Structure 1
């Protein structure tokens, strides 16, 4: 029996040789394995950059909404949170502009990528501090006897965005140089 020589997949991974004249089921399984390896290589290459751009877009768009009075459903919560965080020094429209600036800046830096993404992740940490603060500072708005309020649920879903930021950080941050 002759075999077809091994080939290289999209990620440069050697794919197993496929014997010629093999049973159709074996040929289908071998094709599936090669297709899966190709898909895995494609995902390894593009999924984290796509996640970085998507996370950046979410923050840029929702941050920009905070620049338009009445456009963000979280306007009152943002103002109350800043008021508590700054002991009454920052509130009102200044709080909205500060939040919008932080979120839009983080979003744009993430979208640009490269070294800008690393700075964007730092700015995003600031945003997440503010986003999660109502869980502690404004419990009456976040929790009810029946469980989390709608506002609380909105805040808690940020666990997904935080996890996305962690995945992005794992790819864009530089560690110590290896010898």
Structure 2
């Protein structure tokens, strides 16, 4: 019985680590591109979205750098297993915001709204998989310490 529980905990830890590594690499990679003008295919969409969401209070040139810092930070924290629960919550909030262009800029996101996405729409759509993986990580997070001893 104890062996089954230990094996189950180990399996959850490995699965959670694999998800954290893969999502961390994506965040680090895609976020790094935003530090260099015109390298990220989502740069203009990101700038336009942030401009709309902040009512133009943040300059586009600064907003893309702030987004790059956020994304690279999430990636590094996931890869280093630091503050995982908090990082996942921040990443989920970020992911929620990545869907706003579907509403703000439907003609950039869809060839024929709402069923035929453009390449940018597909880029946004892949985030559903990242959200599912982040939610799975919250449920399987091995950093939540649970004791095996029975206290009565």
TM-score (normalizing by structure 2): 0.81
Question: Partner of 1:12 in structure 2?
Answer: 3
Which entry has the higher C-alpha Rg, 1 or 2? 1
Q: Residue 134 of structure 1: which of 75, 85, 101 is its match?
A: 101
The ranges of structure 1 where at least 4 consecutive aligned residues each deviate by more than 3 angstroms after the TM superposition are 40-45
TM-score (normalizing by structure 1): 0.70
Deviation at 1:174, TM superposition (A): 4.9
Question: Partner of 2:49 in structure 1?
Answer: 81
CA–CA separation in structure 2 for the residues paired with 1:65 and 1:153? 18
CA–CA separation in structure 2 for the residues paired with 1:44 and 1:135? 34
CA 1:43–1:80: 2 relative to 1, 3 Å: same
Query: How many pairs align?
Result: 144
More relative contact order in 1 or in 2 (CA 8 Å, sep 6+)? 2
Q: Residue 110 of structure 1: which of 78, 88, 99 is its match?
A: 78
CA–CA separation in structure 2 for the residues paired with 1:126 and 1:158? 12
CA 1:122–1:99: 2 relative to 1, 3 Å: same
The unaligned stretches of length 5 or more in structure 2 are none
The unaligned stretches of length 5 or more in structure 1 are 1-7, 14-37
| Equivalent residues of 2:13, 2:140 under 8 A apart | no
CA–CA separation in structure 1 for the residues paired with 2:80 and 2:14? 15
TM-superposition CA deviations, 1:31-65 (whole Å, max 9, x none): xxxxxxx8x88644412211111111110111111
Deviation at 1:122, TM superposition (A): 2.2
| Equivalent residues of 1:56, 1:109 under 8 A apart | yes
Aligned alpha-carbon RMSD (Å): 2.9
Answering whether residue 122 of structure 2 is matched by residue 153 of structure 1, we say: yes
